Structure 1
Amino acid sequence: MKHMLRLVPLLLLCGLLAGCLYPKELRKQSQAASGEYILIVQNAIDAYKAKTGVLPIKNSSETTPHYEKYPIDFKKLEGRYLSEVPSNAFEKGGTATYVLVDVETKPTVKMMDIPSFQQVLELQREVDSYKIKNGSLPLGGEAAPGFHQIDYGKLGRAKLEVPSVYTRSMMLPLLLTGEGEVVIDYAPEIMRLIDKEGLAGGLNAQQDLRELLVQKSFFVPARSVAYRWQGGSPVPAGTLHE
């Protein structure tokens, strides 16, 4: 009995350690699964394009934001080109919308995070309602030319930040464009990547820095504007629909 009692603290410690390690292992498994899904869908896209000469995408308008413009139409793939839609896809009740980037040169499969997208849309509705009621936007301080922080006090709500799909421990703030569009500020993530990879010396003021995130990840930056390299920092530019 005494021997068993001495084992109890050790068992509890093991349980605590397992609990601490599990989220990291879970993230690794999730990342591995995402990579497998991406590869499977990419193969299906390539086969469909080779067979039909077109891409299996849903219709979108000219005003659709850049990284939301080419959502994959799984109905055109399932069966002949794809045995099953990935379990993390929106069509299966998952948290990702599968999209294509670089459609003119090398169509590449990526994912867009739905939870953060939905959070931004909910806040957008609050901003729109405030503008209708007050005739102005709930603007806070200027974050960059043409971009402002959001005055959450005017909205009567707590500050909203969304979890980054690139660094899970990072929370990203939201900004307002001059047109009243709520967008996610990816500057912290872009700067983190530039510093990590030592990319600053090869950047120019014309390129869209969001492409760096897309190249290094399975995900596209949802609800985002372009970023330009100015004064040693990524600066938001343009509108959501450019």
Structure 2
Amino acid sequence: MMRILLLVFSSILLTGCLYPNNQLTENQATNDEQLNRVQEAVDEYRETTNGLLPIETKDQNTPIFIKYPIDFQVLREKGIMGEVPSNSFAGGGKYSYVLINPEEDPKVKVVDARITQQLRTVNYQINLYRNENDFAPFGERIGNGIFSIDREKLRLKDGYTVTSPYTGQELDIVIGKGGDAKVDFRPDVYQLMEEEGIEEYEGDLRYLLAEHYPIAPAYSPAMFMENGEIILKQSE
């Protein structure tokens, strides 16, 4: 009996060594098989509808990485998909399925719904403060149209950070000039660039994250390289 217990315990330890925390997060977040299945369904839908996409209609001002949510009902009605992915928000999971680059090369990604919910809570508090003071609780300017949160003004007990869906590290919540809460993904980008040996990148660095991960960096300011430094810029 003791021999069996030791073998089981050793197996658990080996599993922990083989799959670091960030890889476990990535695997749990997307489940590659489900992600591929949705991508195949989207591609099939496009082929049978002369290029149309199975997406829900959103307002033009919707942030780009949540602007094209996949409409699973349409895919089911067409007989292309049966059950929705179990890890999707529609299936009781924690992730919303979206498309990025819809016009050029539609790719299926997921958005961490837990971050969505956390930002909703912060935005609620920001709006309460703004209704009482006629302006948002802006702190220090940290980018083009991007500010830190003045914690003395907002007086949240906690909740000023979110857990990164990429690395597991804590990321700051910041405020855009319109008074909306956003996530500062710069630490994740710096880490990715160091790991991949990337020194230069043309364009919005949010797409670099999307290129390397199945998770879209939703609710984030645009990020650009300038003189070796990542600069935040108001996007949507």
Say if 1:152 and 1:158, in contact at 8 Å, map to a contact too: no
Query: Which residue of structure 1 aligns with residue 170 of structure 2?
Result: 171
Q: Distance in 2 between matches of 1:233 and 1:22?
A: 35
C-alpha separation between the residues in 1 aligned to 2:70 and 2:219? 18
Q: Matched residues in 1 for 2:134 and 2:170: separation? A: 30
**Alpha-carbon distance in structure 2 between the residues aligned to 1:187 and 1:29:** 19
Partner residue of 2:214 out of 210, 214, 218:
218
Q: 1:51 aligns with which of 48, 51, 56?
A: 48
Aligned equivalent of 1:41, options 38, 43, 56:
38
The reply on whether 1:93 has 2:89 as its aligned counterpart is no
**Alpha-carbon separation, structure 1, partners of 2:46 and 2:127:** 40
Please provide the CA RMSD for this pair: 2.7
What is the Cα deviation at residue 47 of structure 1? 0.7
Measured after TM superposition, the shift of residue 138 of structure 1 is: 1.3
Contact 2:177/2:234, CA 8 A, preserved across alignment = no
Q: CA separation of 1:17/1:136 partners in 2, compared to 1, >3 Å: closer, same or farther?
A: farther
Task: Work out the CA distance in 2 between the residues paired with 1:30 and 1:190.
Answer: 16
Q: CA deviation at 1:136?
A: 2.3
Q: Which runs of 5+ in 1 are unaligned?
A: none
How many percent of aligned residue pairs carry the same amino acid? 31
Distance 2:178 2:33 in 1: 39
Matches within 5 A, 1:71-220: 71-78=69-76, 80-159=79-158, 160-168=160-168, 170-200=169-199, 202-204=200-202, 207-220=203-216
Please tell me the residue identity of whatever aligns with 1:51.
T
- The structure with the largest alpha-carbon Rg is 1
Runs of 4+ in 1 over 3 A off after TM superposition: 10-30
Rounded to whole Å, the distance in 2 between the matches of 1:156 and 1:211 is 33
- For residues 45-91 of structure 1, the C-alpha deviation after alignment (integer angstroms, 9 at most, x for no partner) is 11111011211100011101001111000001126111221001111
Tell me which moved more, 175-184 or 18-27: 18-27
Mapped to 2, the partners of 1:145 and 1:44 lie a distance apart of 39
Gaps of 5+ in 2: none
Q: Which moved more, 1:173-182 or 1:150-159?
A: 150-159
Please give the per-residue CA displacement for 1:159-180, whole angstroms capped at 9, x wherever unaligned. Answer: 4211111112x11101111221
Change in CA separation of 1:49 and 1:151 when aligned onto 2, cut-off 3 Å: same
SS at match of 1:149: strand
TM-score, structure 2 as length reference: 0.87
CA displacement, residues 146-198 of structure 1 (integer Å, 9 cap, x when unaligned): 22111222222234211111112x11101111221110001111111111111
Cα distance in 1 between the residues matched to 2:7 and 2:188: 35
Structure 2 counterpart SS, 1:77: helix
Partner SS, residue 219 of structure 2: coil
Question: CA contact under 8 A between 1:227 and 1:235: conserved in structure 2?
Answer: yes
Q: TM-score, normalised by structure 1?
A: 0.85
Q: In the TM superposition, what is the alpha-carbon distance from 1:137 to its structure 2 partner?
A: 1.9
Equivalents in 2 of 1:233, 1:193: separation in Å?
14
Q: Size of the alignment, in residue pairs?
A: 230
1:18 corresponds to: 12
